[in-house]
Amino acid sequence: MSPVKPPSVIVIIPARGGSERVPGKNLLPLAGIPLVAHSILHARGSKSVQEVIVSTDNAEIAKVAKEYGATAIKRPHEISNAKATSESALIHVLDERRKKGKADPDLVVFLQCTSPVRKHDDIDNAVRQLIEEDADSLFSATRNHVLIWNATPAGPQSLNYDYHTRKREQDMEVQHRENGSIYVTKTEVLRRDSNRMGGKISVYEMDEMHSFQVDTPAQVDLLRWVVRREIQDWPNHVDLVVFDFDGVMTDNTVATKANGNESVRCNRGDGLGIAAMRRAGIPMIVLSTEEHPVVMARCQKLKLPCYQGLSDKAAFLKKYVKKEKIDLQHVAYLGNDVNDLPCLELVGFPVVTADAHPDVMHAAHVVLSTAGGKGAVREFADKLLAAKKRKKNVSS
């Protein structure tokens, strides 16, 4: 029997230019990149997805979409106002694809860019769940433990519980609150019902930390805090940390003097982070494509083994971990540019700086909130050690 062909999947991200409560919301910077870019990178990092499309009426959003590797489709004015449904944008994208001779995909994944916090495998897991449960549509949600009341002419009425026999929250029936992060729909259902939900419906559970949305100015500040403090995806067991040098330990600029000598800018906080990881017993090395005395001088000061002049860093890393008997799935790599991509795709925990090149961001499990040379290594160290400490506290 021949293997079952996986469904064709596209991601559509509606992103209007207007926002009544948070002006310019979809372009607001969050962890160093525009809000809409987070969902684009999540989609590009999915193994299930063949195409990522941003539907927008705004030229700047379209520009950002292209910069981060998505296709931008201009949305007509009549379906770009605040009252227009998201479904109208989804179907418009499908129609525009048909005009270009593209067949409808089997599945449409609808991501809201107001939900910038997802685990790196949430999209793939949601698609897999819909297929395994033979569902027609799926929505992401978090468990609901909130007691809700309706305002009625007769006064407030308890909606999802009976206040006469109040239960403890942990004893309530299982309830789900849509978090607006991920919707997966069979295209035939979307076209037939003009609705993201229909037929047999499945619920994809996400934890509360990954279910926050941006709809008010206060929530913008909250999400910035969540992204900075996010350690849910950080591993608590790492056998090796690998750093790129230029653009990670430096701000990617170089000062050249008249005599030809060069200097780079580094961050003192990075040294403190490296020292903290060393005290925690985490092995670290630096791999650099460039070969320059300044690289070796900085690494010697930080007491880091440094390997320079590597035209193929991934090939070197494979040999290194084989010699040291280290599982690549337990290796973390911090990079920032296209020459880091093979290594990022090789290791179990790929991380990039906030100002990394868009072509490598999709390969990262985490995009830091700090740029290279501005404390990115320190942020990396703090979050890795926080995850390690949390695991120790849970185990003890």
- Looking at the DSSP assignment, which residues form a beta bridge with residue 14? 55
Q: Which of 224-228, 283-287, 372-376 has the lowest mean pLDDT?
A: 224-228
Instruction: Give residue for tokens 């926050």.
Output: 212
Contact 356, 335 (CB under 8 A): yes
- Per-residue CA distances from 86 to 78, 190, 365 (Å): 12, 11, 28
pLDDT at 280: 94
Contact 100, 43 (CB under 8 A): no
| Cβ count near 253 (within 10 Å) | 11
pLDDT at 39: 93
Q: How confident is the model at residue 209 (pLDDT cuts 50, 70, 90)?
A: confident
**Over 70: is that where the pLDDT of 347 sits?**
yes
Average pLDDT, the chain: 89
* Amino acid in position 56: T
Q: How confident is the model at residue 206 (pLDDT cuts 50, 70, 90)?
A: very high
Instruction: Give percent of the chain with pLDDT exceeding 90.
Output: 58
Average pLDDT of span 233-240:
85
**Over 80: is that where the pLDDT of 261 sits?**
no
pLDDT at 156: 93
Q: How confident is the model at residue 21 (pLDDT cuts 50, 70, 90)?
A: low
Which of helix, strand or coil describes residue 366? strand
Q: Give 233 or 209, the one with higher predicted confidence.
A: 209
Torsional class of 24: left (φ above 0), alpha (ψ -120 to 50), beta (otherwise): left
Phi first, then psi, for residue 306 (nearest 5°) are -130, 135
Q: Which of 30-39, 59-68, 98-107 has the lowest mean pLDDT?
A: 30-39
Phi first, then psi, for residue 77 (nearest 5°) are -60, -40
pLDDT at 265: 84
310-327 confidence digits (pLDDT tens): 999 999 999 999 999 999
| pTM (two decimals) | 0.70
CA distance 396 to 387: 14
Contact 292, 263 (CB under 8 A): no
Q: In 45-145, which residue ranges form alpha helices assigned H by DSSP?
A: 59-67, 86-99, 122-132
Average pLDDT of span 192-204:
97
User: Domains of the chain by range and CATH?
Assistant: 9-229 (3.90.550.10), 240-395 (3.40.50.1000)
CA nearest to 31, candidates 350, 363, 376, 312: 376
CA distance 55 to 206: 25
**Over 90: is that where the pLDDT of 338 sits?**
yes
Q: How confident is the model at residue 20 (pLDDT cuts 50, 70, 90)?
A: low
DSSP-derived secondary structure for 261-281? -EEE---HHHHHHHHHHHHTT
Average pLDDT of span 221-238:
71
98-151 confidence digits (pLDDT tens): 999 999 999 999 999 999 888 878 999 999 999 999 999 999 999 887 888 899
